[in-house]
A and B are shown apart, each in its own frame.
Chain A
Amino acid sequence: MDLSTTYLGFKLPHPLMPGASPLVDDLDSARRLEDSGACALVMRSLFEEQIVHDEMAQHIHLDAFGNSNAEAISYFPGPSAFVLGPEEYLEHLMRLKAAVRVPVFASLNGTTPDSWMEYARLIEQAGADALELNFYYFPTDPAENADDVERRCLAIVGAVREAIGIPMAVKLSPFYSALVNFATNLERSGADGLVLFNRFYQPDIDVEELEVVPRLRFSDSSELLLRLRWIAILSGRVGTSLAVTGGVHTPLDALKAVMAGAHAVQMVSGLIARGPGYLGVVRNEIARWLESHGYDSLAQAQGSMSLKRCPDPGALERANYMKILQSWRVTSVASPGEPERSKR
């Protein structure tokens, strides 16, 4: 079965790849993913905020103790030995590139337009095949309106586009008030692909200690629905590549993403839970399903259930909400981990 797809200009044997995550933090695990058939590897994001925080913490908390006591000029071995800041990330990127044959996509979250450009350039120089711009940002300032947020993103995309030559995808959160318009503008500003959607750390509350506790919950298939819908809406209406990330756990999840219009399907939680080899299982299962259902190739299914081509576009638009409520029954509640069965 021909599962090939084109994503960000790369002709890939199939659409499955690990999404941005710690999955490829060590070379062993990266090699195992490649061995199990990943068509590309996406590195976790280089967070400028984290880098700045680390650098300044080191500057304030370590350097401050140096040269302050007659008996100890410093409290750590010489600074030359340390690799700090983006170098740590870039070095890993280079090692990864040397270790695997599949394309390696880097991911970046910057803070200022200058730093986005600077880091993007460094990432390109370090050999990344493509770059995901990860717009992970919480607009908490009441003075900042939606237009400001979008304009800033578009400016960054435009600037980075000018700065680098490699393909560039933009990873978005679902929280934009006019996503289709924004997506069109992103394309216009130079984005080659859109990755839907970012999953945020979700702070929880510890009621005993009265503290906010950061949590990163693994996704489940229920999270896929939101992505399916927006991919389906965007498919064919923007010219960029589309990727789904978040909620893809089963072969059918992946198939649905492709049918909605995704060119690439990224998996994280599923692979963390079941190991890198699971990617190969999903790929084989998709092939089997397509075969058993008489498809010639994956391309045939790609976008088949998008807003443009699905039999009932209204279901993807406004009416959807009402319809579900009307058909609500206790038995239809999807229990986590078993979404497919409950649907049936």
Chain B
Amino acid sequence: MRSPETAVLDGNDAVASVAHRTNEVIAIYPITPSSAMGELSDEWSAAGKTNIWGAVPRVVEMQSEAGAAGAVHGALQAGSLATTFTASQGLLLMIPNMYKIAGELIPFAMHVAARTVATHALSIFGDHSDVMACRGTGFAMLASSNVQEAHDFAAVAQAATLSCRVPFLHFFDGFRTSHEINKIFLLSDEDLAEMLDENLISAHRSRALSPDRPSVRGTAQNPDVFFQAREASNPFYLATPEAVERAFRKIEELTGRRYRAFDYAGHPEAERVIVAMGSGAETARETALYLAARGEKVGVVTVRLYRPFCAKAFAESLPSTVRAIAALDRTKEPGAVGEPLYLDVVAALAETLTPGAAAPLVVGGRYGLSSKEFTPAMVAAVFAELTAKSPRRHFTVGIEDDVTHLSLRVDPSFDTETEDVFRAVIYGLGSDGTVGANKNTIKIIGDDPKRHAQGYFVYDSKKSGAVTISHLRFGPREIRAPYLIRRAGFVACHQFDFLGRIDVLEAAEDGADFLLNSPYGPDDVWDRLPREVQEQILEKKLMFYVIDAYRVAREAGLGGRINTIMQTCFFAISCVLPSDDAAERVKDTIRKSYGGKGGEVLKRNFAAVDAALANLSTVTPGRAETGVPRQPLVPAIAPDFVQRVTARILAGEGDALPVSAFPPDGVWPVGTSRWEKRNIAAEIPVWDEQLCIQCNKCALICPHAAIRAKVYEPRYLSAAPATFKSVDFRAADYAGHRYTIQVAPEDCTGCSLCVAFCPAKDKANPRRKAIEMQPQRELREAERANFDFFLSLPDPDRARLRQVDVKGSQFFAPLFEFSGACAGCGETPYIKLVTQLFGDRALVANATGCSSIYGGNLPTTPYCTNEQGRGPAWANSLFEDNAEFGLGFRLAVDAQAEHARRLLIELAPVLGNGLAEEILEAKPADDAAFAAQRDRIDALRHKLAAVSGPEVRRLEILADALVPKSVWIIGGDGWAYDIGFGGLDHVLASGRDVNILVLDTEVYSNTGGQQSKATPFGAVAKFASTGKRTPKKDLGLIAMSTGRAYVARVAMGARDHQTLKAIREAEAFPGPSLIIAYSHCIAHGYDMAFGAEQQRLAVESGAWPLYRFDPRRIDAGQAPLQLDSGPPKIKLEDYMRNENRFRALERLGPDAYRQALVEAQAEAARRYELYRYLAGYGATTEGRP
């Protein structure tokens, strides 16, 4: 046995490390939480890292997981060792190929970060619902419980599949294992070489497709033979458990780590046994050992080889004394007798029990769906249930089920944590670098040969101002504990404002250290603390420290990056390392983390580290009564549901909500984001009404609907707060009206896009604009009152606003507000504009991605309603099917309208007065006409109420369908260009009236910037780490080729009036329309405040030509394509240089960059010429513009 090398890494890294070294072809597609495995593989291959046979694996990103599975299948059939990584819906898309690969007995090990399959809701978190959906495929299934096992079993799966030819699905819990950082012992290249038998690899190759020894595969078979041929694979499955055992023994021989298909741990004479797999089994094992050491006869069987399920080996793993078994499933199969593992256990016992012997009682429990915490206390509750006279056959644990009453009662005080483990809980902001620094801390401590370290990170679902909670454990022995820390000796809060809304000290144990980043010093801070915090500090006798880390960071020239400062304080206070040593070690990791970023970053961070200790102070607690109690998170005027449910989730108490609190079908109320006042902006825009030219561009570009315009009659101002600003509205048809630009101070993210986009400068002092950023804290109270007053002003009558230009559009209430999108998001302004124009009659089908996360991720959602209670009806189906999903809306709406029209014709005589005819003949095209039609429908309803008959009742239900609906299909480029392209193509060709809005960020933004086919030539992205070598796919041109679709390419930051025009034309077009909208994104690598400016440069450089294509123009003898931007005015480089995605290429190699520039410039010129040609095509002389 060699002396093992250790490393501190997460589960994805641990698995990819083995998979990359033991494969030749890797086909992937990004999906949380497995994306990192593919990304790491790509980075390693790009850096020339080889597998154990000296070759660099080929990594290819496909258009979907179905594509990745197909590519892998082909690579395997052609004789290579191939792998893939996926999760959840991605795994489901692979299932058809998995059946094939298993049926063909091809050695193949795939790695799955097991994740919840979307049902009533999407969840990115972990459970076994995805892998359980693969039970029928014929894949062997191997489950890892922790990071070490994930590393080891990646090798076991590869070794076993080569030996038995049955393909393997190796899985580990998404997030809990894939994202947990832990110290593990690494398998060396030599270890891997010893595990993988060369002869078996040769055998695989010799079976491959080859014209030198041709064979035919994938035949179609008939009833006469299919069945027998299918049974012919049985011996391979029978041999699989033994193949796995051999690999387990090999790894034991090489490393000393012992694994079995079913591993028992606990009391040797256990009477109560839990059977589980994945990280939950780890918690169960730890708890069983804890209880057994205290004399309880309990134990746990950890299932490692789940398929093929070897009943005999399972039965043999159980102590003979067992009387009751709880099989725990991290999945739900509604309608089944029980969940899969439960059924397997029941069946295995039934098959293996000696006839006449007393069978143990088997019960089944569900736990941990969507990464729900599974703690030792819950395990203890399960063991406790097994002591009952008649334990519940089926139960849940970890939630309160007050509907079907299945849940077990849990004693929250039960705790198995030991005192020799140091535990820290640290609250940070996503953008302050807390998690990154904590990962470094774990590495620093984990590098010590005598110590072990574990880290797990909880993120909220917001893309701006996200709260992160780091859970760190350090100790002398291996640390498993796959659950959050409930008792910490160190708690840090890196954001002072969190104290007002989060109970950060909940986990602090008595005498713990509490570190606070505070703008107030040791002498002033006490009285500024909320009373609850003061009370906890006193009650728990906490040691309290403060540092003004933002000041230290500012002085060191680090902006808002406080992470290394707080990290240094952590070491200084916690004494986990001697403090002199600690500062040096922090600097070491800074060097490692940022070394590639150049000397200045290091210098400034080093200076910050040195300054940290000098600025850290101890606080002497005062009296508790001086603090102001925390304010309720939502105001008393919020709706009941928001009070009962949303507010609890916001407070971090979602775990405590019972089953009855929730809609059972995933249908939630809209407009809840307005109740979540996040106060994340350090600075907010302030309006200068004298400088303002009343163009409303600030409201247009705001990604969060946090700056708004209104025109109203002056009489309303009598009730205005003192600081409310108002000015005469400059428009002839609104003479005497007043005008206000108002910021929503607590919803603004402080991105300052509005300021950058504002065209109004002070002529005497052009540095000043009509909106300027100013510190939020001082403005908060006054502007909150002003915004409330602003909302109370009536919206202008839509029917009266005849001019729907950029300015006019911004007087329409946004029906999409305060989303969780990134500060400065380039997508949301388009969505907001669509809701302003058509939101009251829009149905929105939203592809999975950023727009579905900021559009529909709990706790609060942004789509909302107007004064009449109408607003966008929004739904997300999947990533891949969005165009089809939206088409379904259209079909349904049309079918119902048709039905309603038929009924109306039938009932016309009853209704009289020509009302039916008026309704039937109305073709509303503007707001006034829509209002008139709605009035008619109201009149219709009124009349119908007085009439009886089944048709009348049916028409009452269907009457709303007589107001035409606007169907919107919204998604990102990953959906439109790649995974959903087939459906998009079909819908475009369908001729149906749908409006497709593609928010083109040119990468998969939501999963972290992987290239899509929309990525432009030369851009560096994940899976294009040396710059994309192919041009951006011209989706617009493809759409034009259908000849039936309206197509537009827009960039709001460049030409807002063209954007508006295109959106209105698209909506009015009576067939499919496609709008491709340039959306700047944090994945482009620059300050989003300049997003609109970059859009302008993109258009002026020819990188993003603007056009509108209307096939109807052909009939009018005009060219269908209208170019809305001229030939390139500036060099493409002037646009590209500002964005890191392009600049990164220059850093990789100036020659390659220049070459890319030349090619990109040529490509832009070619494309422009093509468009110019097309813009003249099809036009007759008189029609030519």
Contact = CB atoms under 8 A, between A and B. Distances in A.
Interface stretch (B647-655, B667-675, B1083-1091): B1083-1091
Interface residues of B, number: 71
B1083 A63 contact: no
A76 B1085 contact: yes
A120 B1025 CA distance: 31
Given A55-B598, A61-B1086, A67 B1006 contact: no
B217 interface: no
A75 B436 contact: no
B1046 interface: no
A71 B1008 contact: yes
Contacts of A25: 1150, 1154
B1087 A73 contact: no
A57 B42 contact: no
B1025 A77 contact: yes
Given A75-B1082, A80-B596, A58 B1006 contact: no
A68 B466 contact: yes
B1112 to A, nearest CB: 37
Interface string A70-93: 111111111111111111100010
Interface in A88-105: 88, 92
A64 B1009 contact: no
Nearest to A87: B598
B330 interface: no
Interface string B210-229: 00000000000000000000
B435 A68 contact: yes
Given A64-B561, A65-B431, A82-B1148, A71 B1020 contact: no
Given A64-B561, A88-B1147, A76 B1022 contact: yes
A84 B1145 CA distance: 11
A74 B1020 CA distance: 13
Contact of A70 (B40, B175, B439, B561): B175
B1050 to A, nearest CB: 23
B430 interface: yes
Interface stretch (B342-350, B382-390, B457-465, B637-645): B457-465
A81 B47 contact: yes
B1144 A82 contact: yes
Interface string B556-575: 01111100000000000000
A76 B597 contact: no
B1146 interface: yes
Contacts of B40: 78
- Give the interface centre of A60, A75, A80, A82 by most chain B CB atoms within 10 Å: A75
- Give the interface centre of B594, B598, B853, B1154 by most chain A CB atoms within 10 Å: B598
A4 to B, nearest CB: 33
Interface in A146-205: none
A60 B562 CA distance: 11
- Give the interface centre of A61, A63, A68, A75 by most chain B CB atoms within 10 Å: A68
A51 B1147 CA distance: 12
Contact of A81 (B436, B601, B1025, B1085): B1025
Interface string B736-756: 000000000000000000000
B808 interface: no
Given A77-B43, A77-B1020, A59 B601 contact: yes
B1007 A71 contact: yes
A66 B763 CA distance: 41
Given A69-B466, A77-B1025, A92-B1150, A85 B1006 contact: no
Contacts of B42: 77
A71 B124 contact: yes
Contacts of A312: none
Contact of A55 (B597, B1008, B1082): B597
A75 B1082 CA distance: 8
Given A60-B559, A85-B600, A77 B36 contact: no
A63 B1148 contact: no
Interface residues of A, number: 44
Nearest to B40: A78
Contacts of B836: none
Contacts of A74: 1008-1009
Nearest to B36: A73
B849 to A, nearest CB: 10
A90 to B, nearest CB: 12
B714 interface: no
A79 B35 CA distance: 17
A26 B430 contact: no
A87 B853 CA distance: 40
Contact of B436 (A67, A69, A78, A92): A67
Interface in B563-601: 594, 596-601
Nearest to A68: B430
B175 A59 contact: no
Given A83-B1148, A84-B1147, A75 B1154 contact: no
A54 B1005 CA distance: 23
Nearest to B470: A67
Contact of A75 (B558, B561, B1083): B1083
A56 interface: yes
- Give the interface centre of A60, A64, A70 by most chain B CB atoms within 10 Å: A70
Contacts of B1154: 25-26
Interface string B849-872: 000010000000000000000000
A274 to B, nearest CB: 20
A203 B143 CA distance: 65
A339 to B, nearest CB: 30
B761 interface: yes
A61 B560 CA distance: 11
A142 B463 CA distance: 45
Contacts of B1082: 61, 65, 75
- Give the interface centre of A55, A58, A77, A88 by most chain B CB atoms within 10 Å: A77
A287 to B, nearest CB: 34
Nearest to A81: B1025
Given A62-B1140, A75-B1083, A77-B1021, A67 B597 contact: no
A111 to B, nearest CB: 10
A210 interface: yes
B594 A59 contact: yes
Contact of B1025 (A51, A59, A78, A86): A78
Given A64-B561, A76-B1140, A71 B1150 contact: no
Nearest to B43: A78
Nearest to B1088: A61
A76 B459 contact: no
B468 interface: yes
Contacts of A63: 433, 436, 561, 594, 597
B827 interface: no
Contacts of B1034: none
A30 to B, nearest CB: 11
A81 B46 contact: yes
Given A57-B1086, A60-B559, A77-B39, A84 B597 contact: yes
Query: 7 closest A-B pairs (Cβ-Cβ)?
Result: A68-B430, A85-B598, A72-B1008, A77-B1025, A210-B766, A67-B435, A55-B598
29 contacts: A25-B1154, A52-B600, A55-B598, A56-B557, A56-B600, A56-B601, A57-B1086, A58-B601, A59-B558, A60-B559, A63-B433, A63-B594, A64-B432, A64-B560, A67-B439, A67-B457, A72-B1009, A75-B1082, A75-B1085, A76-B1141, A77-B1020, A77-B1025, A81-B46, A81-B1026, A82-B596, A82-B1147, A84-B1147, A87-B598, A88-B1147
Interface of B: 32-33, 35-36, 39-40, 42-43, 46-47, 124, 175, 179, 429-436, 439, 457, 459, 461, 463, 466, 468, 557-561, 594, 596-601, 604, 761, 763, 766, 822, 853, 1005-1009, 1020-1022, 1025-1026, 1082-1083, 1085-1087, 1140-1141, 1143-1144, 1146-1148, 1150-1151, 1154
Given A70-B124, A77-B42, 9 more contacts: A51-B598, A58-B1085, A61-B1085, A68-B431, A71-B35, A72-B1007, A81-B43, A86-B598, A210-B761
